[in-house]
Chain A
Amino acid sequence: MSSVQLQVFLQTVIQGFLLGGLYALLGIGMTIIMGVMKIINLAHGELMMVAMYIAFVLFSAFHMDPYLSVVIAAPALFLLGVGIQKYLINPVLKVDSILPENQVILTVGIGMVLVNVATIVFKSDYRQTPVDYSTKAWYLSDFWRTSPIELSLSLPWTVSFVIAVLITGGLWFFLTRTDLGKSIRATAQDQDAAILMGVNVQRVRMITFGLGSALVGAAGCLFIPIYYIYPDIGGQFTLIAFVITILGGLGSTVGAIIGGLILGLFESLTATYIGMGWAPVGRFIIFVAALIFLPGGVASLIRTRKFGK
């Protein structure tokens, strides 16, 4: 492998890793909703789109930095998520019907409404937040002058990745060290037992849906300096989040992080070595392969190999 090839390869891997960190945040939001509520939220990417537009509006009206808008967008999405759970999903869980997949179809309907309202309000133009650091980059040679190979790291990608890692860390702390976090994990493990232990499952469900939405909202704000936005952007991210969830193992947070990283790497590699247009196909090949060869996801591997806990 010549040094140029090596350079391209390393660059691809790093890029995939950074992307994977953001994907992980996206996947965690979906996986905790799935773990607690046992439903697939197909409006996940659309919620992210809402957060991206909140960040966009804050930027264009008040010149607020997209990274700062996490503080506003995430709580806003939390409230939106709680509202959706309370007024739309809960009533459906109660009605009896022939098809049990009604909740999934319901979230599709919610997603359609969100996308369409965004199209009406913001038009389908591609928009972005032109921040001055969006094209800045780090170079390996800045730190290591005699380096034989040259690597570059985009500044916004790095910052987004670091914030994503911080948020994930905060979430981990919340889930393992606080009472509320413990009741969420208890409900995910065994709902009936959680009720018997005095957990208010209704409240936990609402908070979980809100939390999942807030996480994807934060991910949206982190994506903004890198991506452009348009109302339909959500759909692909819903699929990405779902693929990560399957890859990681349903309801497993650690699995979602690993799944996100694997997917990020794989997509980056497909885009470099096969072609940009095929990156989404790579995503689905991973998905199908995971379904067939590793139906329990990475989480099942962790469990059998007794990694970690």
Chain B
Amino acid sequence: MNGLPIDLALAWESLPALFDGLKVTAILTALPLLLGLALAFPICFARMSDRRWLALLAEAFVTFFRGAPLLILLYLVYYGLGQIEALREGPFWILFGSPFGCAIVALSLNHAAYMVEVLRGGLLAVPHGIVEASEALGITRRNIFIWVKMPLAIRYGLKAYQNEVVSFIKGTAIVSVVTITDLTAVANSIFEQTYDPFTPILCAAAFYWAFVNIIRLGFGLWGRWLNRHNAEDVAADAGVPGRGAALRRTSDLGQVTP
């Protein structure tokens, strides 16, 4: 032992494998984020629908998939669905037959359930008067949604979305229990080969940290750009406030004035 808990030589040697693990983690983040978001929109509309049965159905979805621990959900999809013979012989077995497919399904359902509430919160925060003003201008409901409600809902919901994405990324670590070699699984296997618990696990933690913070930085820039209308010194006489000018601002992150 050299006094450090980290074996630098081992850390260096492990880098390529950890990078491979990070790639898997990144894919297991990106795909469910996209699929979950796509799924969240129709479920959110159903949840906010005036038709009671539809709203209840959507609420049941949200309650179930938000309530079920991700690990249990993953076990159910991976081990449980394989028990259904019809599914084993059906065309969807390509998806449910692979651990990767199962992980994507479980993660997407979990993310969708959370995103329904994030979206709904953002949409409910849009001031009613602004929607009325759009209606009074004769803008159609569809256009009001696309051009007024959604742009504002994104601004109101951005912080909640960022939190969900960050905790989601860390949550993907559980896929190692269904034999997927993501970042955590790679670190774990190095530990099992070397009996050094610190080096691989701390390296993996550093990778997660970097990954999460790059995402956070991205959200920060996005938020500042979206909220450029609140930036204090947007110089109106300089013409259209440029993206650059807005990005230079360090304050006012994430604020929206209704």
A binds B: no
Instruction: Give me the interface of A with B, judged by CB distance under 8 Å.
Output: none
